[in-house]
Structure 1
Amino acid sequence: MTPLRPSPLAEQAATRIEEQIRAGQWPVGGKLPGEVALAKELGVGRSTVREALRTLAAAGMVQSRQGSGVFVTADRPTEDWPARLRRAELAHVYEVRTMVEVQAARLAATRRTEADLATLDATLAARHAAGGADDAAFVEADIALHTAVVAAAHNPVLDDLFAQFAPVLREQLVTLVGLFDLRAGDPNQGYDAHAALVRAVHDGDQEAAGRVLAAELEATRSRLLAD
């Protein structure tokens, strides 16, 4: 390997090591040369090599084993979940979203507290009020209501899953609303369905809560597939 040029040296070092791993110089399961050898090959200091290896470890490509050295664990960086969601087709995101949220709605109908119901009422009212706002504010209000439904299920794993979906939904739904002009005839598009969902949770009717939300999400997914 030729010496590296100035700039973020640790970043360059990580890129160069990654290239060599991809090229098969150090196969998965194999051991990387020691810090001294890598530093000499790259023309950098050992501290730069250590930082580069930490970057590659965070990407899931290498792993340090106490007393044994650094080993290659993958020939490609591991893509994190938020990045994977952003790259996915929105129709596919909606399929998984349905699996998560419909069950959450069913659980919410049986586990909701008085505080949860008050939050649901407030977020439903805020969504209605956002009918007079721009698309970004409307989408934000819509997601806040869905977040409140998930929170009412009182399952921290569901909370975490939906928290991963929310930023992607926020970005893509603003585009979707504008692209399909969904609010042209009704600034409060989907309000009746959301009101029915909140009512079902209030009533403790888990079947109705799941059915209403499934229908609403499926309508959007079908539109995505048709266009």
Structure 2
Amino acid sequence: MSLGALRPSPLVEQATDRLREQITGGAWAVGTKLPGETTLAESLGVGRSTVREALRALSGAGLVQARQGSGVFVIATTPRQDWSTRLRQAAITDVYEVRMLVEVEAAQLAAQRRTDDDVTALHEALARRRAAANAGNAEFVAADIALHEAVVAAAHNPVLTGLFTEFVPVLQRRLLDLVELLSLRSDDPNHGDEGHAALVGAIAEGDAGAAGRALRDELTQTLALLHSL
């Protein structure tokens, strides 16, 4: 089988794409042993090191598996989805349930670990959210999420911060849809200000229980709205 020589531009990416196409297109079925590195390198017109990197990428995608002393075998014809892809495709209610677990814990930790700089950042984020009440829905939602990011940052846990960062693109898009669909700001342009003020106040005072309750109450209300759609 001739795979066709590649152009001289990122070769590893091209080799990975070409091999992935063969696998997902059914040229190599599950259980098939791939040709050796030398054969693949000759077919693609690249070096063995490029093929080796491409196979490593395909292994990371869950398509192939190297077996000691036997070679590389196809184990799936559909790439394994990464976390970001799963989030984008998930139901928003499912995302919110997980968000609640993450953020409530983050709020409680923030109340225990916040620094003076964190408290300042939280008050500034709250002020920006209030100022955004005079702006459009997109600006208001962005300011709302920025406040929640400041809460998570105050927990000083890089894993929680990284996890919440993954949620942000999905939340921003879905929250904007929710605000516009239900006209949440038609009667109150600064929708949810009381709850957010209570959250910031609880963290500033170091009251972990109150911080967790404030955030749980807010997210529970939003989740109820989502279930009503």
TM-score between both structures, scaled by the size of structure 2:
0.84
C-alpha distance in structure 2 between counterparts of 1:21 and 1:131, whole Å: 56
Match 1:192 to one of 183, 191, 194: 194
Q: Partner letter of residue 14 of structure 1? A: R
Q: Which residue does the alignment assign to 1:217?
A: 219
Deviation at 1:176, TM superposition (A): 1.7
2:18 paired with 1:16: no
Deviation at 1:53, TM superposition (A): 3.4
Q: Partner letter of residue 210 of structure 2? A: A
Q: Secondary structure at the match of 2:72?
A: strand
C-alpha distance in structure 2 between counterparts of 1:196 and 1:75, whole Å: 51
CA offsets 1:33-92 (integer angstroms, 9 cap, x no match): 21344467xx64345982753552342322457876434454431111111100000010
CA offsets 1:1-43 (integer angstroms, 9 cap, x no match): 5x557998743442112333774352xxxx4221344467xx6
Task: Tell me how large the CA RMSD over aligned residues is.
Answer: 2.7
Q: Which residue does the alignment assign to 1:45?
A: 45
- Conserved? CA contact 1:14–1:53, under 8 Å: no
C-alpha distance in structure 2 between counterparts of 1:179 and 1:47, whole Å: 55
Deviation at 1:132, TM superposition (A): 0.9
Q: Percent identity?
A: 52
Q: Which residue does the alignment assign to 1:167?
A: 169
C-alpha distance in structure 1 between counterparts of 2:62 and 2:170, whole Å: 23
Q: Which residue does the alignment assign to 2:35?
A: 33
Deviation at 1:124, TM superposition (A): 0.2
Deviation at 1:222, TM superposition (A): 0.9
C-alpha distance in structure 2 between counterparts of 1:200 and 1:116, whole Å: 13
TM-score between both structures, scaled by the size of structure 1:
0.84
Judging changes above 3 Å, is the alpha-carbon distance between structure 1 residues 57 and 24 closer, same or farther for their aligned structure 2 residues? Answer: closer
Number of aligned residues: 220
Q: Which residue does the alignment assign to 2:78?
A: 76
Q: Which residue does the alignment assign to 1:226?
A: 228
Deviation at 1:170, TM superposition (A): 1.3
C-alpha distance in structure 2 between counterparts of 1:6 and 1:185, whole Å: 63
C-alpha distance in structure 2 between counterparts of 1:222 and 1:7, whole Å: 53
- Conserved? CA contact 2:22–2:28, under 8 Å: no
Compare 8-17 and 48-57 and name the one that shifted more: 48-57
Q: Which runs of 5+ in 1 are unaligned?
A: none
CA offsets 1:164-223 (integer angstroms, 9 cap, x no match): 111211122122211121111111111110001011111211111111110100111111
